[in-house]
Amino acid sequence: MAKLKSLSPCVLLWLPLLLCLWSLAGCVSDPGDPRYLLYSVNPGEGFNLRRDVHMRAATLLKELQGSGIDWVLVLPPWPHLLHWRSKAGQSGVKWDKFFDVSSLSEYVPSIEYEEYLQREGHSINKVIHLQGFAEGWGEGGFREMSEERPCIDTPHYRQTTKGDWKGNVFGTQVTMTTFSCVSVLGFTRTLLPLLQHQVATVRSVMLERMETVMHSEFGGSEYWAARSSMVYAQRLREKGNQFMRTQLNYDPGLGNGRVSPKDGGGGYLSVHLRRGDYIYARPDKVPSLEDAARQINKLKNEQNLERVFLSSDATPEEKELLGGLVRNLVWYQPSHSELRKFGDGGVAIIDQWIAARATYFVGTSESTFSFRIREDRQLMGFSTESTFNQFCGSHDPHCDRPTVWAIHPSVLSHGTLTHRDDEL
């Protein structure tokens, strides 16, 4: 202390900054240290849309890697989603319950939020809340733009007298150095200048409401590379394999969950029939159970397939009714212990895993659940004719069988992907 008092007032004034620059921890981030990108999604979004938002964050981080700075993607815990009907322990769920995190990391380095807290403590340097423009697109129409603006909605964090911010992030109390709202219109690439500007001063950036921006290259090689990294957790694949062996007389073998079956599928028809809110929200897209049975039975004859796997949010009574109209119709019904073990999200993945391996698939129009199954089938090399089919609604007088999508060639242009040669 005596030595410090002997220093000149000028030196004492600059001492905090000199110590900061000396340690490279606090005011300036060490260029050799990794940066962390966190993101969140609108709480009301469902499971399969959140999977898509993950791909947007992953491809954005992949572009950031090109700047020479190592970035790590922090995976947000899964909250209890609105369509998860069971109530057993489904809040703050880690990603490894549903996906193989090591596989995600093959595309971009990825860690669970829990590991981020262990590394960095309960703090985030900069939180950016993404929002639209209050005035809309304006007279110029759609164009890529971003601008720091006053927040449209009241922030759910509080600013302290010290100037920093505090609040709840994924169920934990976190301190944030800065918080701001940015209005954005465009794609993930629109955020690149904003993030690249931060790397000299921060170690961690969080983008709230990541669904606000769209894919920069939907259907392109990076889209499919990110999608193919989303390998389902092994225990979910194994449960699906067990069901296929015992209920569908099909043994998919062993593998890593990435490559296509070499036998053309499981020798069964799979259908995803959305019920629930679709009956009221999209009555023109959903057939009655009787119409669905008629379409399924016609397809069974056309495709010469005896067994049918049903994936649906229909009630148990509706499934039983449909089973009485379609012979050899089966579905996965988890036991209470399996539901506690896998959760609603895990059960959904088991359904998708089984449905994707069918010889022929029929889905529900505008359903992201069906969309993910189609993506899995594309990655496995199934034909478009056996994949892009959907039920006709009961109010469509011109439709007597499931319709086939017209697919734009750009959506199918993923030939640059390298698939592994392991047997499934």
- The answer to whether residues 385 and 374 touch, using CB atoms and an 8 Å cutoff, is no
Helix (H, G, I), strand (E, B) or coil at 14: helix
User: Residue 325 above 90 pLDDT?
Assistant: yes
The mean pLDDT value for 346-357 works out to 96
pLDDT of residue 400: 55
**Which single residue is written with the structure tokens 């319950």?**
97
d(CA 234, CA 214): 30
The number of beta carbons lying within 10 Å of the beta carbon of residue 366 is: 13
- The answer to whether residues 372 and 48 touch, using CB atoms and an 8 Å cutoff, is yes
Joined together, the tokens standing for residue 397 give 């007088």
Q: pLDDT tens-digit profile of 222-232?
A: 999 999 999 99
Cβ neighbours of residue 148 closer than 8 Å, sequence gap 6 or more: 180, 181, 182, 183
Choose, from 45, 114, 115, 338, the residue flagged as catalytic. Answer: 45
Cβ neighbours of residue 36 closer than 8 Å, sequence gap 6 or more: 71, 72, 74, 116, 120, 203, 204, 205
Of the ranges 217-221, 281-285, 354-358, 394-398, the best mean pLDDT one: 354-358
d(CA 363, CA 372): 10
**Which single residue is written with the structure tokens 């993950």?**
54
Residue 337: Cβ-neighbour burial (10 angstroms; 0-12, 13-18, 19+): exposed
- The answer to whether residues 379 and 227 touch, using CB atoms and an 8 Å cutoff, is yes
- Band of the pLDDT at 417, cuts 50, 70, 90? very low
User: Residue 164 above 70 pLDDT?
Assistant: yes
Structural domains in the chain plus CATH codes:
24-224 (3.40.50.11340), 233-412 (3.40.50.11350)
Helix (H, G, I), strand (E, B) or coil at 290: helix
Tell me the CA distances in angstroms from 65 to 25, 68, 72, 146, 287, one per residue in order. 22, 6, 9, 21, 47
d(CA 420, CA 19): 51
**Regarding predicted confidence, which is higher, 310 or 141?**
310
Q: pLDDT tens-digit profile of 20-73?
A: 333 333 444 555 688 999 999 999 899 999 999 999 999 999 999 877 789 999
- Band of the pLDDT at 142, cuts 50, 70, 90? confident
Q: pLDDT tens-digit profile of 200-249?
A: 678 999 999 999 999 988 888 899 999 999 999 999 999 999 999 999 99
Mean pLDDT rounded to a whole number for the chain: 84
pLDDT of residue 110: 98
- Is 144 among the catalytic positions? no
The mean-pLDDT minimum among 74-83, 265-274, 395-404 falls in: 395-404
d(CA 312, CA 307): 16
In three-state form (DSSP H/G/I as H, E/B as E, the rest C), the secondary structure along 349-415 is HHHHHHHHCCCEEEECCCCHHHHHHHHHHHHHCCCCCCCCEECCCCCCCCCCCCEECCCCHHHHCCC
C-alpha 256 chain-centroid distance: 20
The mean pLDDT value for 157-166 works out to 94
Q: What is the dihedral of CA 317, 322, 325, 328, to 10 degrees?
A: -110
- Phi/psi of residue 181, nearest 5 degrees: -110, 135
